[in-house]
Amino acid sequence: MPDRELTPEEVDAAFAELVGDLELEEPASDSAFALTPRGTVAVRISDQVRMLVAGMAGAVAMNLSEGFGTVSVEAEDPIAALEKEHSLRQARAETLAADARTVIETVDHDELDLDSAEAWLRVVNAWRIQILSSEAAAEFVRLHEGAKEILDIAAAIVQILSVELP
């Protein structure tokens, strides 16, 4: 735990270290992701946003055991409860790990199949959950307008894919 608050300059420096010199642009419109007649999803986002999405996938993959909250167990049979809890968490983690791999492999594609687009949706949403459920990350977002912008971009991607995907 830090013993003092960061100065605005330190926050700026930390943010610059995180995102480099990206010039952020939100997905321009609802056409950022659009179904094609072939049943695929056309991806029309900037290279900068693609880099952000890749970063989100990396963050999700590295925090599979965290970020999805703590687990509370109330059980008369705690062993069975823990085994169940473990298997369900394991299944979620495996799915998200596979999704994150898919996103990283397809992040530069201009067209996604529906399974890959679904993986993008789950991963970007999972990243939002990780950020917004982390007190430190939420504080960082509060302090830095640019961080809020990234979160807005993630929300826009989730929103557009939610509406566009069949």
Partner 1 sequence: MSQASPIITPGIGTEEKSDQKTDKPWKVIVIDDPVNLFDYVIRVFQKVFGYSEAKARKLTAEVHYTGRSVVWSGDREKAEYYAEVLGTYSLWTKLEQDD
x/- site string to partner 1, residues 70 to 109, per CB under 8 A? xxxxxxxx--xx--xx--xx-xx--xx-------------
126 touches partner 1 (CB under 8 A): yes
The amino acid occupying position 135 is E
Q: Is 48 in the site for partner 1 (CB under 8 A)?
A: no
Q: Closest Cα partner for 52 from 131, 151, 137?
A: 151
Q: Provide the token pair at 38.
A: 């072939």
Segment lying near partner 1 (by CB under 8 A), choices 29-37, 38-46, 103-111, 117-125 = 117-125
Is 32 a residue that touches partner 1 (CB under 8 A)?
no
- Closest to 140 (Cα-Cα) out of 21, 3, 5, 50: 5
Q: Which residues pair with 41 in a beta bridge?
A: 35, 112
Q: Note whether 129 binds partner 1 by CB under 8 A.
A: yes
What's the rounded Cα separation, in Å, for the pair 163 and 166?
A: 8
* 3-state SS, residue 112: strand
Binding region for partner 1 (CB under 8 A): 68-77, 80-81, 84-85, 88-89, 91-92, 95-96, 118, 121-122, 125-126, 128-129, 132-133, 155, 158-159, 162-163, 165
